[in-house]
Amino acid sequence: MNNLETLKAAHDAFSRHDLDAVIADMRPDVVVYGYAGGQRLPSAAAVAQFLSQYYAMSSDIRLVDADYLAAGNKVIAQFRAVGTQDGPFLGFPATGRAFSLDVAEVWTFDEDGRAVEGHNYGDTLGLLMQLGHMPVPA
């Protein structure tokens, strides 16, 4: 499997809610940066724990409309995470509202095809506005 196929497989696993498969091709010491919340996740286990909050907030969350670009040891992805907030998220209660979160990612892979670094750019403020937890600016 090449790096692009590896990332696609991880995204498919996310949509199936299979965290073990999501992190299967990450090195244990992978570092992932989540820029929306200023996170630095220093391991595959930390990535799995971080992603589990999205499963807790939405039992039907999945990734759609993905587009990928591979260049050397890097893969860039753009997609939407969609679902319904039927559980708590970041301390906010469930609203039952549907959401669509635009996300971009940049992943770096080692020579064995394992993810060593990830950068995730998502609009968490926009998500909180969609869910009714933050006011929409006038």
79: helix, strand or coil: strand
Residue that the structure tokens 């998220």 belong to: 89
pLDDT in tens, 58-77: 999 999 999 999 999 999 99
Residue that the structure tokens 């587009």 belong to: 67
What is the CATH topology of the domain spanning 3-130? Nuclear Transport Factor 2; Chain: A, (3.10.450)
Mean residue pLDDT across the chain: 96
Sequence ranges of the domains in the chain: 3-130
The whole-number pLDDT of residue 11 equals: 98
What is the spatial distance between Cα 50 and Cα 48, in angstroms, rounded to a whole number? 5
**pTM of structure:** 0.94
The whole-number pLDDT of residue 1 equals: 81
> Residue 18: which residues within 8 A CB-CB, separation 6 or more?
none
- E strands in 1-138: 26-34, 39-41, 62-71, 74-84, 98-109, 115-122
- Whether 97 and 130 have beta carbons less than 8 Å apart is answered as yes
The whole-number pLDDT of residue 62 equals: 98
The whole-number pLDDT of residue 56 equals: 97
Query: Which residues in the chain land under pLDDT 50?
Result: none
- 33-72 per-residue burial string, b: 16 or more CB within 10 A, e: under 16: ebeeeeeebebbebbeeebeebeebbeebbbeebebebee
